[in-house]
Amino acid sequence: MATDLATDLAPVLAVSNLSAGYGAAKILHGIDFTVARGEMLVVIGRNGVGKTTLIETICGLTTLQGGTITFNGQRIEKLPPFRRNRLGIGWVPQEREVFASLTVAENLGIVYRGGPWTTEALYGLFPRLAERRRSYARLLSGGEQQMLVIARALATDPTLLLLDEPVEGLAPLIVQEMIAAINRMRRESALTIIMVEQKHDIALANSDRCIVIDHGAVVHAAVSAELLADAALLERLIGVAE
C-alpha cells in the first residue's frame, strides 16, 4: 500500500478514499493524498491510468462515486465546478482553450479577480505575452497560447493551481521558459500546485513530492528527488528508462 508523504503543514487539499469516473464507469479507486500550502505535487504514470480523471474530479467534472475532497478545511466534493473555482481552485486543462476572438490583454482582463497576479505581474512572468498583448489569442503560437491559459488561471487568484500536462507538445526552449515560470510562481507566492505531466524527468526535478497512479489507484508516493534518483524503481513503476 502506498504511503502518503505529506508535510507537517496544514493541507490545502486532502483527498480521501476517492472513487470517480464518467457515468457508471469507475476510473479512480480509493485515492488518498494531501498537499500542503506552497507545495508542488506531481502526478505521474503511464497513459490512460486516470491522471487527468483525478484532476477533473478535483475540479468537479466527473461522476463522484465515493470518498471526500477537502479544500482549505471545507468539504467540496458535492460542489459544482464554478463554486470550486470561486473558492480558489484554478485549472489549466490539456486543451488550450483560449478566448480566440479576444486579445491577450482582454483574455486576462475579463477574468481578473484581484490579488497579486495583475496583468502587469503576469506580463512579467510571461514576457512573450507582454509583446503580444494586442494580438488576438487565435494568432498566438501553441506555446504562447499555453502561457496565456496559465496566466488567465492565475488572474482568478487561485490558492490551488491544477496543471494538466502544461508542457506537452512544446518546443524545448518553450518548455524551459514554462518550467522557469512555474518555479517563479512558487517562489513569489504561497501557490500550491498539482501537476500531471508525461515528461517525468522534468516533473520530478521541479517538484516536492509525487504520486504514481496505475489502473486508477495510487501505487507509490515519494519525495520527487528520491524517485528521480532511483531509475530501477521508476522503470518498474512507469516503464521509463533513464
One pLDDT digit (tens) per residue for the chain, 242 residues: 333 444 445 799 999 999 999 999 999 999 999 999 999 999 999 999 999 999 999 999 999 999 999 999 999 999 999 999 999 999 999 888 899 999 999 999 999 998 899 999 999 999 999 999 999 999 999 999 999 999 999 999 999 999 999 999 899 999 999 999 999 998 888 899 999 999 999 999 999 999 999 999 999 999 999 999 999 999 999 984 43
pLDDT value for 58:
98
Contact 60, 81 (CB under 8 A): yes
Distance from C-alpha of 96 to C-alpha of 149, rounded to nearest angstrom:
7
List the chain domain ranges.
Answer: 11-88+158-238
Distance from C-alpha of 97 to C-alpha of 109, rounded to nearest angstrom:
16
pLDDT value for 189:
85
Distance from C-alpha of 189 to C-alpha of 133, rounded to nearest angstrom:
24
Domain 11-88+158-238: assigned CATH number: 3.40.50.300
The region that residue 49 occupies, defined by phi over 0 for left and psi between -120 and 50 for alpha, beta otherwise, is alpha
pLDDT value for 9:
59
DSSP helix/strand/coil, 158: coil
